[in-house]
Structure 1
């Protein structure tokens, strides 16, 4: 018996990275999983691979910038499997060439970032809640970011939108808790997905490692396992919370890595 046996889960951004990990692990723990992604061919390939393992999965197209597309993905899930018990709002991102400081950032990118990172969470939850109420409850999980807890030189829209996800999570948890609907978020640090490895210079990855409390960065399954926990009854008394899974990046005095180097060099 799996940890989410026979539950129905919708995972957005499921064709790769964190979403792929979460969808795969949920399926392995017994859930019937709908993989929603703009990259529908990629989502179909993953679903087919899971079926070959004897797991239950299917794919659906979603454009997280379009309200109707999000609604259609939710309705497809319910039409296919008869219910919706788990929603993982995972789609997100920004264009770092446009999402700059407040003076220089592209305002159209600000709006797009708010829509894809924050409004999509609102809409996914908005359409999922009535189905979860009919099912007697459910678990909504949102992807925030460590960027929602501290400011940066750029990515103003991204960090602000992710801080919004943290607070929206609390609102959803408060408003629908009596319906046995829980809502929690996960705030990842640097996760070494293929996209991160292919797009980030090695030196930048080294900088993140330097300021982590742990001597390494995260992997997609570090978040995927947390999603399974939040989706399962193991977390049944937990709601409105954001799990910061970032290797202790923000835990200590920010100068500690440089101070340790200084002390080592002068001993």
Structure 2
């Protein structure tokens, strides 16, 4: 207990899934947490749940597509709790119907995903950094994705936006490290969030699991625990890094599964 005692954290996209897990874990370890989400009711209910468990939290509406909404969330956090030590930029969107290959994708969708997935990270950091500098430093954590490290048949805009998050993380780390501000990212693979469970058929989940090095999928807490580590002083000498948390899905030779099946047929 107490790994982030008395720190103040703002989590965007914190009403469900990975963001909610991070908010809950941070609060359990002593942080005062502000949960911002487009789902205002969900954000406030998440904060109320944390309070029922003895933590301190507030929930508010946040539209990551709008600069003023991001600024208001940062300002609210400082007004409510007096400072801002941890910013977790966690909002991200994808659309499998519009974000296709580069020839057929919807160009308006490209602009929308760049705005929400990448620009929101820039804006959250832009408004948080002056407060962090004033109070002696802080930790910025961004949600990237393994889609930023590998190509796919669709989700071109999503992958490009998340690759941008990876490199923006490095730039923030370099530019503000001397101000005692660290910036790192987490890159999840397939995580069994409520959205994944509700929208992905079992057959598709099985395909992903087949290519994991580990024989199971990740849970939101697997990312939340990494965020907790990056928010805490345990990672005080770590900056500009992206933790790839994906069950070993991307580390193997892609032919290995089919090769093993072939070899079994020869026996």
- Shorter-chain TM-score: which interval? over 0.9
Normalising to structure 2: TM-score of the pair?
A: 0.99
Aligned match of 2:115:
115
Partner deviation per Cα, 1:107-149 (whole Å, 9 max, x = no partner)? 0000000011000000000000000001100000000000000
Aligned match of 2:200:
200
1:2 is displaced (CA, Å) by 0.5
Aligned match of 1:83:
83
Matches within 5 A, 1:194-233: 194-233=194-233
1:19 is displaced (CA, Å) by 0.2
Matches within 5 A, 1:37-116: 37-116=37-116
CA distance in 1, matches of 2:44, 2:5: 22
CA distance in 2, matches of 1:263, 1:10: 51
Matched, 1:24 2:38: no
CA distance in 1, matches of 2:132, 2:266: 60
1:80 is displaced (CA, Å) by 0.2
Partner secondary structure for residue 237 of structure 2: coil
CA distance in 2, matches of 1:247, 1:51: 33
Gaps of 5+ in 1: none
Aligned match of 1:148:
148
1:265 is displaced (CA, Å) by 2.6
CA distance in 2, matches of 1:259, 1:86: 46
CA distance in 1, matches of 2:55, 2:266: 57
1:60 is displaced (CA, Å) by 1.2
CA distance in 2, matches of 1:26, 1:89: 14
Partner deviation per Cα, 1:177-196 (whole Å, 9 max, x = no partner)? 00000000000000001110
Normalising to structure 1: TM-score of the pair?
A: 0.99
1:93 is displaced (CA, Å) by 1.4
CA distance in 1, matches of 2:87, 2:167: 17
CA distance in 2, matches of 1:228, 1:10: 13
Are the equivalent residues in 2 in contact too, given 1:185–1:243 (CA < 8 A)? yes
Gaps of 5+ in 2: none
CA root-mean-square deviation: 0.7
Aligned match of 1:241:
241
CA distance in 2, matches of 1:42, 1:265: 51
CA distance in 2, matches of 1:266, 1:4: 55
Matched, 1:126 2:126: yes
Partner deviation per Cα, 1:211-259 (whole Å, 9 max, x = no partner)? 1111111000000000000000110000000000001111111111111
Are the equivalent residues in 2 in contact too, given 1:60–1:76 (CA < 8 A)? no
